[in-house]
Amino acid sequence: MAKRKTRRSLSKDLNLGILEDHVIKKIDVEQRLADCFCLFVKTPDGGCFLSGGQEKPERYISPNFTAVCMGATRIESTIGLDLLIELGSAVAHQFSEQDFHSTIVLEFLCNYMKEQLEDIKSPQGLALEFIIFDHITNKLFRISFDGNYQINDLEEAGSKFFMIGDYEKPGKKGKAFLTALTKSIGDNISVENLSMVGVVVGKHFGLPDVSLYVEQEVEEKSDS
């Protein structure tokens, strides 16, 4: 005779099902982001974003920061851009455009991405990540698809290269691209050199389009 499940065992089964669903969704997102990456490179004059993948990322520019939204698809990149536009409009309506700071974006996006991945009603998580350069503090924010984040102070960071995307997969293009890029440019980390070498290295690794966006030095932004 089969035993009846207690309320406690049913609750345990439900929790295990939710955990399994979360793990499956996380693996799926990582696989879809495997060939997508975005680099922020610190240069003597500020920095630049270099991205590679099947789709170009979207870029959002405000007086206080620049954000690049990198999705596995154009739709997901556009979702990221729309989120920033809507949040920026809400802050400007309530306060002012100057009050739209990267810390507000960080808190909102981390919560939003975490909720999307944990939403049991959604069969798939968002294959979307963000990299944000703060013009005021000279800090870099990297937000992953699961809501986790990293903050780097560019004045104190030992590295000049910061990456999002490029998850575990044999023959990862992002890491290989970065290794070849740093070897090719050596100590000459300028926007002109990155632009020229980035395209050449990108073609070598079969990247359809290597996009470059330039950021000016913080002092120049402040004086304008």
Could you read off the pLDDT of 6-36 as tens digits, one per residue?
A: 555 545 444 545 567 788 899 999 988 887 8
Total domains present in the chain: 1
Spell out the alpha helix ranges (H) of 95-157.
102-118
User: Mean pLDDT across the chain, nearest whole number?
Assistant: 83
Give residue 186's pLDDT band: very low, low, confident or very high (50, 70, 90): confident
Torsion angle of the four alpha carbons 14, 20, 25, 30, in this order, in degrees rounded to the nearest 10: 160
Structure tokens that stand for 202 in this block: 């990108």
Q: Which residues pair with 161 in a beta bridge?
A: 41
Q: Please state the pTM of the whole predicted model.
A: 0.82
Whether residue 204 lies inside any domain: the answer is: yes
Of 169, 186, 180, nearest to 210 by C-alpha is 180
Q: Are 140 and 46 in contact (CB under 8 A)?
A: no
Tell me, what's the pLDDT at 169?
Answer: 60
Q: Give, rounded to a whole angstrom, the gap between the first and last alpha carbons of the chain.
A: 80
Tell me, what's the pLDDT at 66?
Answer: 94
| Distance of alpha carbon 85 from alpha carbon 173, whole angstroms | 31
Residue whose tokens read 């406690």? 8
Domain harbouring 149, CATH code: 3.60.20.10
Whether residue 184 lies inside any domain: the answer is: yes
| Distance of alpha carbon 168 from alpha carbon 189, whole angstroms | 27
Which amino acid makes up residue 199?
V
Give residue 200's pLDDT band: very low, low, confident or very high (50, 70, 90): confident
Percent of the chain past pLDDT 90, that is, above it, reads: 43
Q: How many CB atoms neighbour CB 193 within 10 A?
A: 15
Sign of CA dihedral 195, 200, 206, 208: positive
For residue 139, pLDDT over 90 is answered with yes
Percent of the chain past pLDDT 70, that is, above it, reads: 84
Whether residue 4 lies inside any domain: the answer is: no
At what angle are helices 74-94 and 102-118 packed, to 10 degrees?
Answer: 130
Residue-number span of the structural domain to which 115 is assigned: 37-223
Q: Is 185 exposed, middle or buried (0-12, 13-18, 19+ CB in 10 A)?
A: middle
